[in-house]
Chain A
Amino acid sequence: MSWVSKFLTSSIGRKLLMSLTGLFLVVFLVVHLIGNLQLMVADQGKAFNIYAEFMTTNPLIKTTSYGLYFFILLHAVQGIILWQKNRAARGTRYAVPNKVSSTFASRNMAWLGIIIFVFLVLHMGQFWFRMKMGDVPPVTYDGQTVKNLYAIVAEAFSQWWYVVIYVVSMIVIGFHLLHGFQSAFQTLGLNHRKYTPFIKGLGVIYSIIVPLAFAIIPLYFFFMIKS
């Protein structure tokens, strides 16, 4: 085995992949959120649609997005492998589970991850797939015709069940991040008596603010726009 593959399949190497892909996704979420927040601009979706058009056509962004898909898959696959191996390493399970010495999120990263993955599939099908392949009605702004993704979003967010799924998924992402954010730094070896408390604090803030901001949008559409 070459040192590279040996490294990447070692326990610490696998953790490193989880950590780096995780951190990438953390950054991506912020970018995604900035885009989404344009849904809240009161311009009948103009800003959002132009932004969406840019994101789907700019070659640089497109290339990056393939990286993104790869990282999501890598993070998911690696996570499942870890989960499998870790379950095998335990063998017989304890009769009394230990709930006091660790957080709910840290113990359930795999389950949280699986829920997020299912949501992602649904989410991509709903928006990304239709945007790429489907029948999105066009809309023209200042002579430029773009796909009216806003209309699709508005339609989706008018269905109560979709809003519920979306909001619950955001809560799940919040928990996943609550452990994942600071965990990524710990894996990278960035544990420092002076700085780690800041990282942990930042992680908590991030894990609350970002999913909350995401979740507000469907709620806003459902309750404000629809009525």
Chain B
Amino acid sequence: MELKSNVPEGALAEKWTKYRSTMNLVAPNNKRRIDIIVVGTGLAGASAAATLGELGYNVKAFTFHDSPRRAHSIAAQGGINAAKNYQNDGDSVYRLFYDTIKGGDYRSREANVHRLAEASRNIIDQCVAQGVPFAREYGGLLANRSFGGVQVSRTFYARGQTGQQLLLGAYQALSRQISLGNVEMYNRHEMLDLVKIDGKARGIIARNLLNGKLERFAAHCVVLATGGYGNVFYLSTNAMGSNVTAAWRAVRRGALMANPCFTQIHPTCIPVSGDYQSKLTLMSESLRNDGRVWVPKKKEDAEAIRNGQKTGLDIAEDDRDYYLERRYPAFGNLVPRDVASRAAKIECDKGHGVSPTGLAVFLDFAAAIERYGKSRAHSLGLHNPNAAKIRELGEKVVEEKYGNLFQMYEKITGENPYKMPMKIYPAVHYTMGGLWVDYNLETNVPGLFALGEANFSDHGANRLGASALMQGLADGYFVIPYTIGQFLSKEIRTPSISPDHEAFATAEEHTREQLQKLINVKGNQSVESFHRRLGKIIWDYCGMSRSAEGLTKARQMVRELREEFWKDVFVPGDMDEFNPELEKAARVADFMELGELMIIDALDRNESCGGHFREEYQTPEGEALRNDKDYTYVAAWEWDDNDPVLHKEELQFDNVELKTRSYK
């Protein structure tokens, strides 16, 4: 299979503009006759469904949640990037493009990333017009902050709840289209199969989660905006319900999964506290604007902290190792996520970790509190304020900036982060890999599109902070509404697709058998216990660092676990009823297959790049060692239960020079 990226000709900066102006359109009278299915109502799905509805298409939108507003985009904290250059600090579309390509360790498609950078500016305009309450300066204009891996302030934010506000904006736009009758909304419907007719995606089989009935939905094309697969690790910052099922069922119908091993481990999460833990909580990257990361220099100190004999406050300044500032003086605490995560792991592996499990480092705000306190005292005209006063004022400033995050930390850990340095550790957060798509965001299955985290296209091997929201909204608001026309303009003569077509019947029957099979196992172990075990394998062998030996072993372990799952899982209840355990079981079954594919992909990629760190390939200083000669390609996998087939899309870099990423 030849993978055609369909990147238009021309100079990088003009590709999108030119392409947009010359692409095929669907006339308004034809749009009314065309049905589109959008699965997922996060930033990408809701914005796409709303915009396609505005354009006049008949849209059917699906979410497994009880409301479109619950999609996991809601939990994004820090912000959204846009090349507005409102801060006059040298930002531009090109710089955002360049930062993203470099941050992604040169494993993304240039043209897609440039288009993303261009669209970023429109997103902010659109969201403000919708009433998204971004942070503002006293003059009433928009405020910005910095994020990792860049040296400009281009991140727009709404306290620590940017994702929530952006999602509510998209949800409201979607709600408007629902009330206008342009979008039909199906809550609590989970897509369980993709239906293809004559090779084209023509519909889905969805399970109505309230009554368990399988339902058929037909359309001229299908758009998947179903998010990432981070929950394959069991413990991640993803919501409990986030899953790969919709995307994976598409893979089983022939769609290709690209770069599945590219997963992002976020450096600042609240550490694991026990076996019962169900998920991990992110502490926004924005905290690294002001927090300093450190571990004790002496192992004895670290051990004393682990035993509870000392706390972070007992360690003298000289005995602290601010290892990010030491190793990466140019970017300091604001190095990209993959670099920061790996550095934390190295310190903890060396025995400098500070929580009882040994897996945590400090994120310390004492210096920021003092700095802000002095500055606030100065602006209040206080001369010679004492240390307590400075602290008090400083804490207030920090509270204004990060109050909700600090509060969340205290709720979870029971420790006051204003007084004690926070303890953090990396955790799975995002998946750069996803369904392979071309420039039009169309997968290799004609008529099947993938947006947002569900596709692989823009972040390469590592995503920069505040870029996920940007990509989701760019895809939904500003890319798919145009590019979908390339497919649909050829479909204007296709009458409505009938859900009575044989292909639907077959797919429905297949889905029913699958579910029945899960219920019929009637074993002894819970779905949750299998998921936990799968997650542990993937985390241990396909997590922050990977080796050929470990991966080979892990593949075997996942296989065995899968076998055990199908022999011994226990799913209570029946198919034809509200049954959350059955939903979970089907998702875990898919994670088992995906997990194996991740391992296969990680084994194939004999280099270290971005979030993919192979122990065999590192520089003497322990930095990732890329192999541009052999691995500058997108690994797109065709699923086969025994031997997945690799299809390569070679990446071309015409505009940036491939360099070793340096943040030193």
Judge A-B direct contact (beta carbons within 8 Å): no
